[in-house]
Chain A
């Protein structure tokens, strides 16, 4: 039969080699390690590689004003703020600023920039750089970033004069914001009122410094490794957002002499089983560990480092649904009927969370805030509320399977006789529905969530489940819908909208939510420590009493750490530790 072609051996072999060559050429391997850096005086510098796998997700961006896994790595070694946290996470140590002075009224901080500190390209790190970075963060449109609003949402806790107004667009004049560089070496930050947590909050990842010239010259490409200019202990060498970020020691770093590891290799999005296998075989040095796996592996338990109080798992009452949920006694009864220690036991890696403040780590916490597990008390409250004959069933929406969901359903069924319908929703569906009034009026509706943050009282009262959050969730369904209309009103400018929203909350929220908001702000500005703590506790007690948000567990983070790793001092912070302190034991 004619018309075909013959595949000769030569053609076959040639084609095979060609395909193989093309295949390897197209692979784009990320390359081998570069020579290890040495000290400026030629002394022995950092050496070796340390591999970490502490994020199951990708690192989408290295922009610290972008809320994502950037928070895991940028403050850990790539960019440095004025201060760093100490190992315990309860105080700060100098970083880009070598010292600071606090005014007598404790409302003005004057930072002196570190003499001789430079960016990785040799430019000096100046107070002007710091002001530029903070201005970028507080710019309402997120100019230069894709998503500034997320990171800047943490800022209200700092209480910087005029910052909230500038961010909201109510005041567009930067001169009214209490951040100014008086010269290259001096940055002055004015607060609205004294804030004892201010310095610690300045160690937050969003407060690191950026190199203005790079960002202005390359608005999109500045974070590519080849363009990177940073002031941290490391600079990125290669970066594949979904799989790895390799960082090498920055020879221009002011504290380069303390850096012991030449390359930090952050593996991203790795499967949990593969991670553990690689850890056990010595390919990984520090990995996140799953609590359930740890419980079943005695050998692994010996290598586990636990960071308690990293965050909280909670239930949030949704708007709409059965009206019973609007009765505070019902919400409190539901909360009292939860055996939180049992939830924590089945989940692992956590402990019973009896308040919205992680009491196991936040200084000043008082056990008097704690919700007791008291089924009889819960039934008595329901009886008082007119639900002695039984409550309507409930539903709970969440985004992934977890043992506590079924455990909670069992507990409520046994204690109160109600059925909890658990709905696991895709992320987008959950996001779209969680703040929309639930339409089925036969069920009380909740969603589940987690929060994490710095372990200070101010942070857990002012920032997380803070004044606006609590006041919003205390609104009736009708008032919430009206509030949303104001939010969506494009005819209002920044100042007018901010005023209208505040009016809406101040007028329509639960009076105790309003009281909570006022106490929270008052506490932040209180100089006397004992008095401040007392006021915070008073505010927190009101928040627990209203029970719009019900605490479930205080979550820990678990890390498996290789035996020869030293200097790993994890804190309850997103970055976990600073890479500059990591080293390997000799031998």
Chain B
């Protein structure tokens, strides 16, 4: 029921996003043909086009029908997975562009998230357990610096060092896994900063919890308490951050794509906006919006899966009758469900 409600909300939000995007596109000055003419250095189609040319172009770009019909036509295409060809990349349908470019952007995002987690978690823990030490200050200073460093700048520095000076890695292109290393590193620097601070604060918060004090008073070893209890609970909030972070990285890598020559979705999106490529802009905007919403939904569900308190808040816990039935089932020898305490 909960999932159904959330999915319904996603659908309604997507409709709202599509209407807003379409309306803004209609209101935006300039259209595809005239911008192309301007960029192409011609005297100008808009001024010189004959009625035959204008009619032909209008028909080709779907502008020979009322605006509301254009919207409905596009949305019908979006639902059926046939959004038609991009104005700008005339040999490609919008869904082809998304299907081809998104996995590339997503692969960079996944790589960046993995690197970020692997680096940020130890750093955050170190800063928390060595609070107010040089480790804490140093780590947090670096994290703040990384957070504030634009990935554009980070990318250039990486190119200069690893390609220009050391000649270790290819500076551009998309020919093999080696081409992924520098863009992934460039993308992961800011998330490392964000996650490290997040982990530090979360660990510190858990260290102050009563269950830690109780465990210590019972004679529990510090290392055990830290690993089994504090860390496990501290990692929970990370889930909340990682979902939207993935969506953000997978959709917002335009500068990194430009520096490293990566054929990802970010550049298509930007060029669609600049060139008023209606189908591509609509398609990518809807896709990005859907991705963000789905990632948020996934995060909520994972969170509920991990934390029974959240499950209870969301109304996903079993009723008393169900629990009783399951207890009877267990007593009658049926297989007991796998239920293991996460955070205790």
**How far does the alpha carbon of A453 sit from the alpha carbon of B46 in the complex, in Å?**
20
Q: Is the CB of A278 within 8 A of B308?
A: no
Known interface pairs A4-B342, A4-B343, A271-B258; A243-B36 also in contact (CB < 8 Å)? no
Q: Which of B56, B104, B257, B307 has the most CB of A within 10 A?
A: B56
A141, A149, A223, A271: which contacts B48 (Cβ < 8 A)? A149
Q: Which of B104, B171, B262, B344 has the most CB of A within 10 A?
A: B171
A63, A141, A472: which contacts B90 (Cβ < 8 A)? A63
B29, B36, B51, B106: which contacts A433 (Cβ < 8 A)? B29
The answer to the question of A295 belonging to the interface, with a C-beta cut-off of 8 Å to chain B, is no
The answer to the question of B81 belonging to the interface, with a C-beta cut-off of 8 Å to chain A, is no
Would you give the shortest CB distance from B55 to chain A, in whole angstroms? 7
Residues of A within 8 A of B52 (CB): 140-141, 168-169, 494
**How far does the alpha carbon of A430 sit from the alpha carbon of B44 in the complex, in Å?**
13
Q: Is the CB of A19 within 8 A of B164?
A: no
Known interface pairs A240-B174, A427-B35; A6-B342 also in contact (CB < 8 Å)? yes
- Mask for A19-50, Cβ within 8 A of B = 1, else 0? 11011101111111000000000000000000
Residues of B within 8 A of A141 (CB): 52-53, 55-57, 59
Q: Is the CB of B50 within 8 A of A4?
A: no
Interface segment among B136-144, B189-197, B268-276, B282-290: the answer is B268-276
The answer to the question of B1 belonging to the interface, with a C-beta cut-off of 8 Å to chain A, is no
Q: Is the CB of B177 within 8 A of A26?
A: no
Nearest residue in B to A451 (C-beta to C-beta)? B41
**How far does the alpha carbon of A26 sit from the alpha carbon of B174 in the complex, in Å?**
12
**How far does the alpha carbon of A167 sit from the alpha carbon of B56 in the complex, in Å?**
13
The answer to the question of B320 belonging to the interface, with a C-beta cut-off of 8 Å to chain A, is no
Known interface pairs A60-B90, A141-B55; A28-B180 also in contact (CB < 8 Å)? no
Nearest residue in B to A223 (C-beta to C-beta)? B91
The answer to the question of A442 belonging to the interface, with a C-beta cut-off of 8 Å to chain B, is no
User: Which residues 458-484 of A have a CB within 8 angstroms of B?
Assistant: 466, 468-469, 472
**How far does the alpha carbon of A426 sit from the alpha carbon of B273 in the complex, in Å?**
11
Nearest residue in B to A170 (C-beta to C-beta)? B50
Q: Is the CB of A153 within 8 A of B47?
A: no
The answer to the question of B85 belonging to the interface, with a C-beta cut-off of 8 Å to chain A, is yes
Would you give the shortest CB distance from A292 to chain B, in whole angstroms? 17
- Mask for B320-344, Cβ within 8 A of A = 1, else 0? 0000000000000000001111111
Known interface pairs A61-B89, A67-B36; A283-B103 also in contact (CB < 8 Å)? no
The answer to the question of A525 belonging to the interface, with a C-beta cut-off of 8 Å to chain B, is no
Q: Is the CB of B103 within 8 A of A26?
A: yes
Q: Is the CB of B38 within 8 A of A497?
A: no
B28, B47, B60: which contacts A146 (Cβ < 8 A)? B60
Interface segment among B68-76, B107-115, B216-224: the answer is B107-115
Residues of B within 8 A of A63 (CB): 90
Q: Is the CB of A27 within 8 A of B171?
A: no
Residues of A within 8 A of B344 (CB): 1
**How far does the alpha carbon of A309 sit from the alpha carbon of B53 in the complex, in Å?**
32
The answer to the question of A587 belonging to the interface, with a C-beta cut-off of 8 Å to chain B, is no
Known interface pairs A66-B90, A244-B263, A427-B274; A19-B163 also in contact (CB < 8 Å)? no
The answer to the question of A452 belonging to the interface, with a C-beta cut-off of 8 Å to chain B, is yes
**How far does the alpha carbon of A149 sit from the alpha carbon of B60 in the complex, in Å?**
13
The answer to the question of A102 belonging to the interface, with a C-beta cut-off of 8 Å to chain B, is no
The answer to the question of A367 belonging to the interface, with a C-beta cut-off of 8 Å to chain B, is no
Would you give the shortest CB distance from B151 to chain A, in whole angstroms? 12
**How far does the alpha carbon of A450 sit from the alpha carbon of B341 in the complex, in Å?**
69
Q: Is the CB of B103 within 8 A of A28?
A: yes
User: Which residues 111-155 of B have a CB within 8 angstroms of A?
Assistant: 111, 114, 152, 155
Would you give the shortest CB distance from A217 to chain B, in whole angstroms? 14
**How far does the alpha carbon of A16 sit from the alpha carbon of B117 in the complex, in Å?**
12
Residues of A within 8 A of B100 (CB): 28
The answer to the question of B305 belonging to the interface, with a C-beta cut-off of 8 Å to chain A, is yes
Residues of A within 8 A of B185 (CB): none
Q: Is the CB of A277 within 8 A of B164?
A: yes
Residues of A within 8 A of B238 (CB): none
Known interface pairs A4-B342, A58-B267; A431-B167 also in contact (CB < 8 Å)? no
Known interface pairs A5-B342, A468-B48; A450-B41 also in contact (CB < 8 Å)? yes
Would you give the shortest CB distance from A263 to chain B, in whole angstroms? 12
The answer to the question of A117 belonging to the interface, with a C-beta cut-off of 8 Å to chain B, is no
The answer to the question of B37 belonging to the interface, with a C-beta cut-off of 8 Å to chain A, is yes
Known interface pairs A2-B308, A274-B259; A428-B29 also in contact (CB < 8 Å)? yes
B57, B180, B258, B338: which contacts A27 (Cβ < 8 A)? B180
Interface segment among A103-111, A339-347, A485-493: the answer is A485-493
**How far does the alpha carbon of A194 sit from the alpha carbon of B33 in the complex, in Å?**
34
Residues of B within 8 A of A498 (CB): 50
**How far does the alpha carbon of A197 sit from the alpha carbon of B85 in the complex, in Å?**
38
Would you give the shortest CB distance from B15 to chain A, in whole angstroms? 26
Known interface pairs A1-B342, A28-B100, A169-B51; A60-B29 also in contact (CB < 8 Å)? no
Residues of B within 8 A of A3 (CB): 308, 311, 317, 339, 341-342
User: Which residues 273-309 of B have a CB within 8 angstroms of A?
Assistant: 274-276, 305-308
Residues of B within 8 A of A223 (CB): 91
Query: A-side binding surface: helix, strand, loop or mixed?
Result: loop
Known interface pairs A29-B179, A267-B173; A497-B36 also in contact (CB < 8 Å)? no
User: Which residues 92-123 of A have a CB within 8 angstroms of B?
Assistant: none
Number of residues of chain A lying within 8 A (CB) of chain B? 91
**How far does the alpha carbon of A184 sit from the alpha carbon of B257 in the complex, in Å?**
47
Nearest residue in A to B102 (C-beta to C-beta)? A26
Q: Is the CB of B164 within 8 A of A271?
A: no
Q: Is the CB of A278 within 8 A of B156?
A: no
Q: Is the CB of A147 within 8 A of B180?
A: no
User: Which residues 160-176 of B have a CB within 8 angstroms of A?
Assistant: 160, 163-164, 167, 170-176
Nearest residue in B to A433 (C-beta to C-beta)? B29
Would you give the shortest CB distance from B286 to chain A, in whole angstroms? 20
The answer to the question of A143 belonging to the interface, with a C-beta cut-off of 8 Å to chain B, is yes
**How far does the alpha carbon of A494 sit from the alpha carbon of B38 in the complex, in Å?**
24
Known interface pairs A61-B91, A283-B170, A428-B28; A277-B160 also in contact (CB < 8 Å)? yes
Residues of A within 8 A of B276 (CB): 428
Would you give the shortest CB distance from B261 to chain A, in whole angstroms? 5
**How far does the alpha carbon of A493 sit from the alpha carbon of B276 in the complex, in Å?**
29
**How far does the alpha carbon of A78 sit from the alpha carbon of B100 in the complex, in Å?**
24
The answer to the question of B80 belonging to the interface, with a C-beta cut-off of 8 Å to chain A, is no
The answer to the question of A281 belonging to the interface, with a C-beta cut-off of 8 Å to chain B, is yes
Q: Is the CB of B257 within 8 A of A243?
A: yes
**How far does the alpha carbon of A269 sit from the alpha carbon of B267 in the complex, in Å?**
9
Known interface pairs A2-B341, A270-B259; A277-B163 also in contact (CB < 8 Å)? yes
The answer to the question of A323 belonging to the interface, with a C-beta cut-off of 8 Å to chain B, is no
**How far does the alpha carbon of A492 sit from the alpha carbon of B50 in the complex, in Å?**
10
B155, B262, B317: which contacts A243 (Cβ < 8 A)? B262
- Mask for B61-95, Cβ within 8 A of A = 1, else 0? 10000000000000000000000010111111000
Q: Which of A147, A489, A494 has the most CB of B within 10 A?
A: A147
Would you give the shortest CB distance from B183 to chain A, in whole angstroms? 11
Residues of A within 8 A of B343 (CB): 1, 4
Q: Is the CB of A268 within 8 A of B171?
A: no
Q: Is the CB of A60 within 8 A of B88?
A: yes
The answer to the question of A220 belonging to the interface, with a C-beta cut-off of 8 Å to chain B, is yes
Q: Is the CB of A280 within 8 A of B42?
A: no
Residues of B within 8 A of A149 (CB): 37, 45, 48-49, 53, 57
The answer to the question of B30 belonging to the interface, with a C-beta cut-off of 8 Å to chain A, is yes
In addition to A1-B341, A63-B90, A431-B37, 7 A-B residue pairs with Cβ atoms within 8 Å of each other are A1-B343, A16-B114, A24-B177, A30-B263, A240-B174, A273-B159, A281-B164
Residue contacts A-B, CB under 8 angstroms, 8 given: A26-B107, A27-B180, A58-B267, A67-B36, A274-B172, A278-B163, A427-B30, A428-B29
Which A residues have a C-beta under 8 Å from some C-beta of B? 1-6, 16, 19-20, 22-24, 26-32, 58, 60-63, 66-68, 140-143, 145-150, 153-154, 167-169, 220-224, 240-244, 265, 267-271, 273-274, 277-278, 280-281, 283, 311, 426-435, 450-452, 466, 468-469, 472, 487, 489-490, 492-494, 497-498
Sorted nearest first, the 6 A-B pairs with minimum C-beta distance are A4-B342, A428-B30, A141-B56, A67-B40, A26-B103, A3-B308
